[in-house]
Amino acid sequence: MSPDAAADARSILQALQTAVDARDEDGLVALFDTSAVLVGTGADARTVEAIRDYLHAIATQPESFRWDWQEVVPFHAESGSLGFAAFGEIVVTDASGERRAPFRATLLAVQSDKGWRLRQFHGSIPSEFS
């Protein structure tokens, strides 16, 4: 895999984090392709409307969260598409403090005229931790 694949993967993860930090629902939605699927620890979204609802919940939750990615592993890189896995922790912060949990994700991104767009996002906390 080329170094560009790893750099592109990290830039996609950073774009997600930037939108989450800004609580930018429209910005989050814009990062997803119109045919995307999103699978999280507690729910999934298979349509544009369901993805918008899922991301609305992320953008408006009272807690703040960030991902602390420790390893990013590209597994697919072709012209116009990039698949990668990311491993690290999710960090949730609220009035009572900070909580951390192991987190892993697989993503498939496709190039568009507006840059990389996620076609698939699957993120989860290992069941033995929950």
Residue 32 located in a structural domain = yes
What's the CATH number where 32 sits? 3.10.450.50
Residue 81 β-bridge partners: 78, 110
**Tally of domains within the chain:** 1
* pLDDT tens, residue by residue, 73-111: 999 999 999 999 999 999 999 999 999 999 999 999 999
Residue 84 located in a structural domain = yes
> Is the Cα dihedral 39, 121, 59, 31 positive or negative?
negative
Residue 107 located in a structural domain = yes
Residue 129 located in a structural domain = no
Residue 130 located in a structural domain = no
The whole model's pTM is what?
0.93
* pLDDT tens, residue by residue, 21-43: 999 999 999 999 999 999 988 88
Residue 101 located in a structural domain = yes
Q: Which of 70, 86, 68, 65 is nearest to 8 (CA)?
A: 86
Question: 58: domain range?
Answer: 3-124
Residue 46 located in a structural domain = yes
